[in-house]
């Protein structure tokens, strides 16, 4: 039930000095009310934007302009809440958290905004009279894909929870002109097309031309003697301008609206007069133009480090502008630097923004004139670092030479910090060169490198992993000496996902079931309530409703597959889903090899036997990094296998294989609610957490997976008997690799048959797949062959359970009921209390209205 709308006079909570008030009295007289949310007002808002913002008329009022007009009118309301919130935070001056992330995978915004602002019905009704369905307009929006995968989507879920929980938080990041590339599939191979996501404008951002900072690169450090000692000044080099773009983040049913501030690079206005006067006008303009490149493109690598200079420039540009903004805000109302860590917490989402540790230190030391120890103490109390991976190829290390060139003062400071840090090391382990070598921030060798993870650990007061098992590996396997040195710094914060987007918005049918059976819709913000659904799992009516819910979602996905892939799938078949970045450690290969085995097995069956086969639709989606040869070959293999199977009439009813191109957040919102099982089959010890596993579980999809990442904790909550857990355990991995090296692995005969078919050309030219088979036969680092028979056993269990539909549904209900712990609300409360030391700051206004 919605409360009737009550309009009251707007009060401004802003701190306005008396003289200003007088000057602006007209301004305040004019702006006294919030926009109304009745149907007429909303319609007028949409039409005004269609006419004045888009300059369109009723003659070209199409679906896209209806989407845009609606988006701009929602944005007006978001801006009101944003202003109200930010003024309130400024007045109250609570400690704030700043979440620094190079990636935000936001997906679409319209649906999320109207749900969170509790305006869905009003917009729905308003648009109906114009001849549009709000739900259709959602589809008009292009995804904002400024991220690669889990890490970027995590940042987006965290932002939603922080606003919903009313924490005073801002996200900072980069506004890439080109987001994650668009994936096409031609002849089974991945192609990449640039994603110029801003082509049709972005109604969700606010350009802040008044918020600009100058960022310096290269140049030199000059020492100047002053009465207080030597001052270091960083001079010369290239200057680039950072411009702020704000995206409001509305909390669920609250006025609190937080902000994500993204920086865009623009040429600095200062001219190099010599170059211009010397007749080099064009090349001087070109040089300026290059500065715009900094925020041109997101690096499309997931879990791999790119050693490119431009990437380091992006990182520094990001943190330099961000820290200017944070320090400016702090200085508006504070003068005592000691108070800084009591007002500011900064979270590093992986090592990507780690140079920010040194940037804040440099500002305090060189610009604010603080002493070394005092400045460093402030820095380390302010920063905290989240580790996202233990894969060696993902650990960032920048050549000293590169940093020296690009950021000369920072390199000096890193040396200084390392020197002091190594003294601490020798105090703990006297005369132990080996310990110093392994812990040093600088890696010695032919090319000296700065280890960003070491810098992040030394410069932070807290280091966390993202799932219990991952945090253990961080402590004991990756950084054991750091753990011995600073045992209190290390924590675990298991990831979470927002139930708003991943249940309520993605799965309205399930959402309605939960509302009715739980007799409340409060589970959306208090996911602990979802446990209650378990009480009804034996009720035949709920079982029936649950079955129907799955069928509705499967039909939606089947329609999507028919439209985008041209493949007709049977919604009564088991939907088996494997969607994530394509990576060897995630083992899409293990899955497709087992699909080949399934195909060969069905082919050998008599028609009688085939009648007993549980029909399956195997669905893959995911992008490979453009330079990742092996992952791209895996995509080709999946598509080649799909081509053969989908055209084989003999297996038509029993097996289909679908690769959905261009996986992104909005596609995930269609796929996840429709899945019966989901594949979380990474080699144990390689996946830090995984978050799609949580989204699937919320939607009642059963995991077939290894005991890796957060699967371990999901198994604790859900119970292993309600999942399909298989495979080598983390503790067995080293031994299994040795066995592989010693060539003691006997290849399962069923896998040999699969290899033989690939080699004989059943799925097209065998030489295309030779590198894949070689990777298994000579190394098999991810232990696909050893896990293969165990995986087939688990698949058999899946098939057997599928033949008992009511038992299946009961397990599905138990899965959904067991997801409280995997809400990002829980995760954010833990970060707030145990790392950041921040409290909710609920906006109080005289006008609140509907919550
Ligand atoms: P910043 O904190 O200076 O970046 O400003 C962000 C937003 O906070 C502004 O756009 C205002 O909405 C609000 N704000 C900033 N300063 C004040 C103030 O002095 N009084 C009330 N609100 C403020």
Tell me the domains of the chain and their CATH numbers.
Answer: 1-32 (no CATH), 93-108+143-492 (3.40.50.2000), 538-822 (3.40.50.2000)
Mean pLDDT on 512-532 = 98
Active site residue 691: yes
Q: Which atom of ligand 1 is nearest to the CA of 13?
A: 21
Could you give the 3-state DSSP secondary structure of residue 612? coil
Instruction: Provide the mean pLDDT of the chain.
Output: 94
Q: How far is the CA of 31 from the centre of ligand 1 (A)?
A: 17
Q: Which helix (H) or strand (E) holds 610?
A: helix 607-610
Q: Which atom of ligand 1 is nearest to the CA of 14?
A: 21
CA of 211 to the centre of ligand 1 (A): 12
204-233 per-position pLDDT tens digit = 999 999 999 999 999 999 999 988 889 999
| 16 ligand 1 Cβ < 6 A | no
Q: What gap in Å lies between CA 450 and CA 327, rounded to an integer?
A: 26
C-alpha distances in Å from residue 33, one per residue of 18, 23, 80, 122: 22, 20, 10, 19
Active site residue 695: yes
Pure H helices in 117-226: 120-128, 134-138, 150-164
pTM of the model: 0.95
Residue 18 has pLDDT above 50, yes or no: no
Taking the CA of residue 211 as reference, the ligand 1 atom at the shortest distance is: 4
Q: pLDDT band for position 26 (50/70/90)?
A: low
The span from the CA of 492 to the CA of 463, in Å, is 8
Q: Give the residue from 403, 424, 530, 415 showing the smallest Cα distance to 481.
A: 424
For a ligand 1 pocket test, name from 83, 86, 324, 328 the mutation site with the most ligand atoms within 8 angstroms of its C-beta.
86
- Nearest atom in ligand 1 to 325's CA: 4
Report the DSSP beta bridge partners of residue 348: 100, 385
Q: Which atom of ligand 1 is nearest to the CA of 328?
A: 3
Residue 5 pLDDT > 50? no
847: pLDDT strictly greater than 60: no
Q: Which of 269, 341, 249 is nearest to 828 (CA)?
A: 249
68 CB less than 6 Å from ligand 1? no
Task: Give tens-digit pLDDT for 105-118.
Answer: 999 999 999 999 99
- Produce one character per residue of 53-92: b if its CB has 16 or more CB atoms within 10 Å, e if not: bbebeeeebeeebbbbbbbbbbbebbebbbebbbbbbeee
Which structure tokens are listed for 449? 């490198």
Please return the burial class of 531, using the count of CB atoms within 10 Å of its CB with bins 0-12, 13-18 and 19+: middle
Q: Tell me the per-residue pLDDT of 303-346, one tens digit each, with 9 for 90 and over.
A: 999 999 999 999 999 999 999 999 999 999 999 999 999 999 99
Instruction: pLDDT band for 844, please (50, 70, 90 cuts).
Output: confident
Cα within 13 Å of Cα(564), Cβ side: 19
pLDDT at 4: 33
Residue 282's pLDDT band (cuts 50, 70, 90): confident
The answer to whether 589 and 634 have CB atoms below 8 angstroms apart is yes
10 — pLDDT class (breaks 50, 70, 90) = very low
The HSE-up count of residue 714 (CA atoms within 13 Å, CB side) is: 35
Residue among 350, 450, 437 at smallest CA distance from 406:
450
Q: Is 10 in the pocket of ligand 1 (CB under 6 A)?
A: no
HEC states along 388-445? CCCCHHHCCEEEHHHHHHHCHHHHHHHHHHHHHHHHHHHHHCCCCHHHHHHHCCEECC
Q: How far is C-alpha 480 from the chain's CA centre? A: 28
* Ligand 1: centre distance to CA 329 (Å): 9
Confidence of residue 762 (pLDDT cuts 50, 70, 90): very high
Are residues 205 and 248 in contact, defined by beta-carbon separation less than 8 angstroms?
no
Question: Which two structure tokens, joined as six digits, stand for 714?
Answer: 């999901």
586 belongs to the catalytic site: yes
- % of residues, the chain, pLDDT over 90: 91
Q: Is the pLDDT of residue 60 over 50?
A: yes
Between β-strands 182-186 and 238-250, what pairing exists: parallel, antiparallel or unpaired?
unpaired
* DSSP codes joined into one string, 734-787: HHHHHHHHTT-PPPPHHHHHHHHHHHHTTTS-HHHHHHHHHHHHTT-TT-HHHH
Question: Is the pLDDT score of 17 beyond 70?
Answer: no
Rounded (5°) CA angle 503-152-181: 105
Q: Respond yes or no: is residue 95 known to be catalytic.
A: no
CB of 329 shorter than 6 A to ligand 1: yes
Would you say 457 and 473 are in contact if contact means Cβ atoms under 8 Å apart?
no
Question: Is the pLDDT assigned to residue 275 strictly greater than 80?
Answer: no
Q: Is the pLDDT of residue 67 over 90?
A: yes
Tell me whether residue 554 is one of the annotated catalytic residues: no
Check pocket membership of 14 for ligand 1, CB cut-off 6 A.
Answer: yes
Helix (H) or strand (E) holding 146: strand 144-146
Residue from 836, 846, 823 nearest 164 by CA = 823
pLDDT digits over 384-423, tens only? 999 999 999 999 999 999 999 999 999 999 999 999 999 9
Going by pLDDT thresholds of 50, 70 and 90, the confidence category of residue 284 is: confident
Whole-angstrom distance, CA of residue 600 vs CA of residue 655: 11
Pick the more confident residue, 24 or 62: 62
Nearest CA to ligand 1 atom 1: 329
Half-sphere exposure of 740 (CA within 13 A, CB side): 19
Q: How far apart are CA 111 and CA 498, in angstroms?
A: 14
Mean pLDDT within 540-551: 98
User: Whose C-alpha lies nearest to ligand 1, atom 4?
Assistant: 329
Per cent of the chain over pLDDT 70 is: 95
Measure 88 CA to ligand 1 centroid, in angstroms: 9
């Amino acid at each position: 039930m919605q409360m009737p709308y009550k309009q009251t006079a707007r009060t401004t909570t802003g701190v306005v000095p008396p003289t200003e008030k007088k000057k602006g009295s007209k301004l305040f007289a004019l702006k006294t009310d919030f926009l109304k949310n009745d149907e007429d007002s909303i319609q007028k808002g949409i039409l005004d934007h269609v006419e004045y913002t888009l300059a369109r008329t009723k003659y070209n009022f199409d679906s896209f302009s209806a989407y845009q007009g609606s988006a701009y009118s929602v944005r007006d309301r978001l801006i009101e809440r944003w202003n109200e919130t930010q003024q309130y935070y400024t007045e109250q001056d609570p400690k704030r958290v700043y979440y620094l992330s190079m990636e935000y995978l936001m997906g679409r915004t319209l649906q999320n905004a109207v749900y969170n602002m509790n305006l869905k019905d009003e917009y729905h009704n308003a648009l109906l009279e114009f001849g549009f369905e709000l739900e259709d307009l959602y589809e008009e929006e292009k995804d904002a894909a400024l991220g690669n995968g889990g890490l970027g989507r995590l940042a987006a879920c965290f932002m939603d929870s922080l606003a919903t929980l009313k924490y005073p938080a801002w996200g900072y990041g980069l506004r890439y002109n080109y987001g994650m590339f668009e994936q096409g599939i031609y002849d089974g191979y991945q192609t990449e097309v640039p994603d110029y996501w801003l082509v049709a404008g972005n109604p969700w951002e606010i350009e802040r031309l008044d918020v600009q900072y100058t960022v310096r690169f290269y140049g030199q450090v000059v020492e100047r003697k002053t009465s207080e000692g030597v001052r270091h000044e960083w001079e010369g080099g290239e200057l680039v301008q950072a411009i702020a773009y704000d995206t409001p983040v509305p909390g669920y049913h609250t006025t609190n609206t937080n902000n994500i501030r993204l920086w865009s690079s623009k040429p600095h206005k200062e001219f190099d007069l010599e170059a211009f006067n010397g007749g080099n006008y064009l090349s001087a303009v070109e040089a300026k133009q290059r500065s715009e490149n900094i925020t041109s493109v997101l690096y499309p690598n997931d879990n791999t480090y790119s050693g490119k200079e431009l990437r380091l420039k992006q990182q520094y540009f990001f943190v330099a502008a961000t820290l200017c903004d944070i320090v400016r805000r702090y200085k508006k109302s504070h003068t005592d630097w000691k108070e800084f860590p009591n007002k500011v917490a900064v979270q590093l989402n992986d090592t990507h923004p780690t140079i920010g540790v040194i940037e804040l230190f440099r500002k305090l030391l060189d610009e604010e004139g603080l002493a070394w120890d005092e400045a460093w103490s402030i820095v380390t109390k302010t920063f905290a670092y989240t580790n996202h991976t233990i894969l060696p190829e993902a650990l960032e290390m920048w050549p000293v030479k590169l940093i020296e060139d690009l950021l000369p003062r920072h390199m000096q400071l890193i040396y200084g910090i390392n020197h002091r840090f190594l003294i601490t090391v020798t105090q703990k382990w006297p005369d132990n060169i080996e310990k110093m070598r392994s812990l040093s921030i600088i890696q010695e060798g032919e090319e000296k490198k700065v280890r960003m993870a070491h810098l992040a650990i030394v410069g932070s007061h807290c280091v966390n992993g993202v799932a219990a098992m991952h945090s253990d590996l961080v402590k004991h396997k990756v950084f054991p000496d750091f753990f011995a040195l600073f045992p209190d710094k290390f924590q675990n914060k298991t990831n979470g996902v927002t139930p708003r987007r991943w249940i309520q918005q993605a799965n309205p049918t399930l959402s309605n079931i939960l509302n009715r059976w739980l007799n409340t819709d409060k589970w959306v913000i208090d996911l602990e309530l979802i446990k209650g659904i378990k009480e009804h799992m034996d009720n035949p009516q709920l079982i029936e409703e649950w079955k129907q819910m799955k069928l509705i979602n499967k039909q939606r996905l089947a329609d999507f597959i028919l439209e985008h892939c041209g493949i007709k799938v049977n919604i009564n078949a088991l939907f088996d889903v494997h969607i994530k970045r394509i990576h060897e450690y995630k083992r899409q290969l293990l899955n497709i090899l087992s699909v080949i085995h399934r195909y060969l097995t069905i082919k050998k069956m008599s028609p009688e036997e085939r009648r007993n086969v549980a029909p399956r639709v195997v669905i893959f989606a995911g992008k490979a990094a453009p330079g990742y040869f092996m992952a791209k070959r895996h995509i080709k293999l999946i598509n080649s296998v799909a081509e053969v199977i989908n055209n084989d009439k003999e297996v038509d009813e029993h097996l289909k294989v679908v690769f959905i191109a261009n996986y992104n957040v909005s596609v995930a919102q269609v796929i996840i609610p429709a899945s019966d099982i989901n594949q979380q089959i990474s080699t144990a010890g390689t996946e830090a957490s995984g978050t799609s596993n949580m989204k699937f579980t919320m939607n009642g999809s059963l995991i077939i997976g290894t005991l890796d990442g957060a699967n371990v904790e999901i198994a604790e909550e859900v119970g292993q008997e309600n999942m399909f857990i298989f495979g080598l355990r983390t503790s067995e991995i080293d031994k299994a690799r040795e066995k592989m090296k010693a060539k003691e692995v006997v290849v399962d005969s069923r896998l040999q048959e699969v290899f033989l078919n690939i080699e004989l050309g059943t799925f097209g030219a065998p030489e295309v797949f030779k590198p894949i088979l070689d990777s298994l036969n000579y190394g098999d680092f991810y232990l696909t062959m050893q896990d293969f028979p165990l995986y087939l056993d688990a698949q058999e269990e899946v098939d057997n359970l599928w033949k008992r539909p009511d038992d299946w549904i009961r397990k599905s209900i138990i899965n959904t009921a067991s997801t409280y712990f995997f809400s990002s609300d829980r995760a954010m409360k833990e970060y707030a209390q145990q790392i950041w030391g921040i409290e909710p700051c609920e906006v109080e206004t005289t006008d609140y209205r509907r919550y």
